[in-house]
Amino acid sequence: MKKILFTLLSMILIFSLLTGCSSKENTASSPLRVGATAGPHEQIVEKVKEIAKTKGLEVEIVSFNDYIQPNVQLYEKQLDLNSYQHTPYLDKFNKDHHMDLVKLASTVNFPMGIYSNQLKSLDELKEGDKISLPNDPTNEARALLLLQSANVIKLKDTKDLNLTIKDIAENPKNIEFIELDAPMVAHSLEDVAVAAINTNYAMQAGFSPADDSIFIEPKDSPWVNIIAARPDNKDDKRIKQFIEIYQSEEMKQFIEDIFGGSVVPGF
């Protein structure tokens, strides 16, 4: 009886070890699932995927048209990492949604621009004109800071990265601000004098930020985008290899050649 019991325990132990090894092998060999917003982020990750394949790393890209789901799906382990947001947005998202996603590396900077179908300069703004801008906390603050730098408004506290239109101290032309979901701002141009549009959505709408914006952030803007992951997988060797490829000289040259200054390497 003891011999039979010993044999059964040995078989269970061997099976457990084999299953554990198989699980690790499957993780190592499975595609790296990367979330990216449609537009430049996705285009850049497509190039990383192309290079990664030559180095034995399989990458699967999941494309999004919003700023919420890439983080939600990362947290829920449907993704291994994402590439689309800057640190202030991630920090606010973690706080608001009780998550603990982490920044791993810098990627690119998308200088936010001001666009208009009616005006050639912000100096042409008239009394009571309308300006549309993103309504998510960090990008609204970013748009307001950009408008302040153009002398359209004056804010109460320029160090606060959670500014809203309630924090406008001076609005000499009584501008009416229209807060919209970030993807919708570009579509509002027919109804407003100017719009503050995130670069990825501006490019989706057919604009060249470097050529078509009437006012734009400087290239050394602090809003650099990042690669984010979870604490439990941040040391994954596949993620480290992905970052190494993303931050390579080959990718830097690709970004500069393809986007011509509308998207700037931040590494």
Rounded CA gap, 37 and 60, in Å? 14
| pLDDT (0 to 100) of residue 200 | 86
Instruction: Specify the CATH number for 113-216; select among 3.40.190.10, 3.40.50.300, 3.30.420.40, 3.40.50.620.
Output: 3.40.190.10
**Cα distances (angstroms) measured from residue 77 to each of 74, 81, 82, 149, 246:** 5, 9, 11, 40, 22
3-state SS, 27-69, equals HHHCCEEEEEECCHHHHHHHHHHHHHHHCCCCEEEEEECCCCH
Q: Which of 8-12, 58-62, 78-82, 131-135 has the lowest mean pLDDT?
A: 8-12
CATH number for region 31-111+222-265: 3.40.190.10
Say if 31-111+222-265 and 113-216 have the same CATH topology. Answer: yes
State residue 213 phi and psi, 5-degree precision. Answer: -75, 150
Residue pLDDT, tens place only, 106-150: 999 988 999 999 999 999 999 999 999 999 878 999 999 999 999
Residue with tokens 């748009």: 143
User: What is d(CA 45, CA 111) in angstroms, rounded to the nearest whole number?
Assistant: 19
175 DSSP assignment? P
pLDDT value at position 75? 98
In 3D space, the residue among 78, 63, 89 whose CA is nearest the CA of residue 31 turns out to be: 78
Which of the two residues, 128 and 24, has the higher pLDDT score? 128
Segment among 19-23, 105-109, 193-197, 214-218 with least mean pLDDT:
19-23
**What residue spans define the domains of the chain?**
1-25, 31-111+222-265, 113-216
225 bridge partner residues: 86
Using the predicted structure, report yes or no on whether residue 63 has a pLDDT greater than 80.
yes
- pLDDT tens for each residue of 197-245: 998 899 999 999 989 999 999 877 778 999 999 999 999 999 999 999 9
Which residues touch 178 (CB under 8 Å, ≥6 apart)? 130, 131, 132, 133, 188, 191, 192
Alpha-carbon span 267 to 93, nearest angstrom: 23
Name the band, by pLDDT with cuts 50, 70 and 90, for residue 166.
Answer: very high
Q: Position of tokens 């208009």? A: 116
Whose CA is closest to 57, among 34, 76, 77, 37? 34
CB atoms within 10 A of CB 253: 11
Q: 10 Å Cβ neighbour count for 10? A: 10
Candidates 242, 236, 190, 188; CA nearest to 57 is 242
